Amino acid sequence: MTHLDTPVSPIVLGAMSFGTLVDEDTSFALLDRFVERGGVWIDTADCYSFWASESGHGGASEAVLGRWFAARPGVRDRIRLSTKVGAEPLWPGSWPEHRAGLSPRAIHDAVSGSLDRLGIDTIDLLWLHQEDRAVPIEETVDGLAVLTGDGIVRRVGASNHPAWRIERARAHARTIGSIPIDAFQLNSTYLRVRPGTRPPGVIHRFGVMSDEQHDYAVENGLETWAYTPLLSGAYDNDAKPVPEEYDHPGSDRRLRVLTEIAADRGLERGQVVLAWQLARGIRPILGGSRLSQLDTAIDAASVILTEDERSRLDAAV
C-alpha cells in the first residue's frame, strides 16, 4: 500500500470518531490513505466515542480498526497502534463521576477488551487516559508492569496528567524494574487560552500542555503528542470560529504572524501550526474526517520553518 521511497510521516491519525461520527467506509478510506502517505501511528481509546454512541459506551473506534486490520493482511506490521484506558464510563451517563479508572484490575480488564476489539495481541503504546486520584499511581504502575512484562504492551504513556505524577510513576517503575512512562499526550495548539480557562471539550485539570509539562518532557526524553492541534479546523475554516477561550490580544498578535507566514509560504495557517509543533518536537494528532484534510496535514510535515519564522511565531505573545 505504500512505496519504499515514501517518507515516514510523524503525523498521528486520531481515530476517535471512527464508527460513530465517521462511518466505516470513510474510516477505511482514511486509514488506507494514511498508510499510503507513510503514516505509522494510529491513536484511539477504549472509550471512543461513548458520547456519540447509541449504547453510551465506547469501543466503536477500536472495533472499526479491528475490522480494518482483518481486511488488510500485513498492514499491522507497518502500523503502530496506541490506545487508552481509564475513561470508559461504568454505565451509560456515568462519566466522569463513575469511570473505569486506573486500578490494576481495571487496566487488565480494559486491555483485554481492547485486544479483542482490535483483533491484535500486542499494543504498541498504552496510554493512561486521565489521572485517577482514587488509586495511588504506584499501584497503577504495578498493573502496567504486568502487561509490559508479559509483552502485551510495548510502551506506556500518560494523557491529561500533571508532571509530578508522571515523575512519581517513572520513579516507581525504575524501582521495580519495569518499563517507565515515556510519552505525554496533552491538548496543544499555537494559540493560548486566557488564564483560568480551558479549551472546549478539555475538562481535565491538567489536560492543556503547560510550559512545565513540556519542559519536563524535553528534559526527561518523553515523546510528546498533541491532541486538537488545529482547533477542529478553526485556523482555516471561516465556518468554525476560534473558540472564545482564545479571545484576547495575544491571540490577535499570534494570528497576525501566523497569517503572514502562511501567506508568504503559500500554506494554510493550520499547516504552519503543524510545522511549528513538529519543530518543537511535538507530534500532532489529526482527527479529521476527509481525505483532503489528511493530505494537507501530511504535506505540512515536510515544511521546514526558518529560524526567523520560528522566532517570529514564538515571540508573538
Which residue among the candidates 48, 190, 227, 246 is catalytic per the annotation? Answer: 48
Q: How far apart are CA 107 and CA 14, in angstroms?
A: 21
Q: How far apart are CA 67 and CA 203, in angstroms?
A: 31
| Number of Cβ within a 10 Å radius of residue 162 | 17
Q: How far apart are CA 64 and CA 294, in angstroms?
A: 18
- Is 227 among the residues known to form the active site? no
Question: Which residues have a Cβ under 8 Å from the Cβ of 135 and sit 6 or more positions away?
Answer: 101, 102, 103
User: Of 11, 2, 44, 6, which Cα lies nearest the Cα of 275?
Assistant: 11
Q: Active-site positions?
A: 48
